[in-house]
Amino acid sequence: MAGPPPGNLSLQERLMRIAQTLQFAWFVGHVAVLVATLKYIFNFVTFSYNTRGARFSYRTAFLFATITYGIVVYKGYRARLRQNRSTGFFALIGDENVQYLIMAFIWLFSPVKVSLAVLPFSVYSVFHVATYTRANLLPALQGPQPAGPDGRPKSTGLHQTIGDFVKEYYDQSMFLVALLEISLWVRILISVIFFRRGSWILFALYTAFIRARFSQSPFVQSGVSQLVSRVDAIAANQQAPPQVRAAWETIKGFGRQATEATDLSRYAGGKLSGGNPSGPSGSAGTSSSASGLNTSTSSNTFGQRKSQ
């Protein structure tokens, strides 16, 4: 992503230079996602999640998620055109930023409201906001810093704290996102079992999303593997009826066949884009890969309704 403005400018000029970029709009969008999510969480824990204010916060979170990922997809599409890369359907749908844009749009307008759905987007936004603040906002506010022994500008306390936070908690947070997404799929499946209105369509769409995430994210693969291992242990228990073990083996066999049949890379002619293990970039830079938000600390910097 673009660096901070030149240090020889005044504070006002540096801030104006930042505020005029599309990347700043992307940053503001992620801040709005976090604010709306926190407001909705407050409504949820105070048992007021069906109020008008809670519904507004829920929709607002997905509105700004749609805007932020829309910016990334737009920049990524322009980069593809400049580089003469494929812009066909499978090339675009294989981009994880496109996948998250579609899901944010679906959640925004879905008649089914699932509170859990806001959390994966908000976790990504935490790291997007932290990374942009460290790489762009702090340098613009603080101005030029004296150089250290290695010739690089010295890191301030807050700059170093943010970098340490990202470095220490990033992988754990991405695994948390994977577990949240898998839990959300199970949550929607329960709605299908109980014949909740609109749940079938949502289940089909979210299953396609999870399938794409499984093919691209080692964190999702690890989460699914742990879930399967736990059910394997339950089914292998001697107290489990034989019918349960047989049913579980049938489900696993069907899952393997469905996974092979829905491997988009077979149709896209190779590995899908956006397969970086760090998740969707959400970056407003020209790269559409998950490493679009890159800092010196880490190269893997991130990417209604009736309540049920």
Flag whether pLDDT at 55 surpasses 70.
yes
* Domain assignment present for 246: yes
* Domain assignment present for 213: yes
What is the amino acid identity at position 5?
A: P
Q: What is the pLDDT of residue 302?
A: 36
Flag whether pLDDT at 109 surpasses 90.
yes
In which band, very low, low, confident or very high, does the pLDDT at 116 lie, cut at 50, 70 and 90? Answer: very high
Q: How far is CA 84 from CA 80, 145, 192, 235, in A?
A: 6, 40, 43, 51
Lowest mean pLDDT, pick from 1-10, 44-53, 157-166: 1-10
Domain span holding position 210: 11-146+156-307
* Domain assignment present for 278: yes
Q: What is the pLDDT of residue 153?
A: 59
Interaxial angle between packed helices 242-261 and 218-236, expressed in degrees from 0 to 180 and rounded to the nearest 10: 160
Q: What is the pLDDT of residue 68?
A: 96
* Domain assignment present for 82: yes
Burial of 31 (0-12, 13-18, 19+ CB in 10 A): middle
Q: Structure tokens of 86?
A: 């494929």
Question: Tens of pLDDT along 167-200?
Answer: 999 999 999 999 999 999 999 999 888 888 888 9
Of 34, 41, 32, 40, the C-alpha closest to 56 is 40
* Domain assignment present for 1: no
* Domain assignment present for 47: yes
Specify the number of domains making up the chain: 1
Q: What is the pLDDT of residue 236?
A: 79
> 112 — phi, psi (to 5°)?
-95, 125
* Domain assignment present for 57: yes
Q: Structure tokens of 128?
A: 């997007």
* Domain assignment present for 262: yes
What is the amino acid identity at position 303?
A: G
Averaged pLDDT, 294-304: 35
Q: What is the pLDDT of residue 106?
A: 95
3-state helix, strand, coil in the chain (%, to 5): 70, 0, 30
Q: What is the pLDDT of residue 296?
A: 34
In which band, very low, low, confident or very high, does the pLDDT at 4 lie, cut at 50, 70 and 90? Answer: low
Mean pLDDT of the residues in the chain: 80
Q: Structure tokens of 183?
A: 């839990």
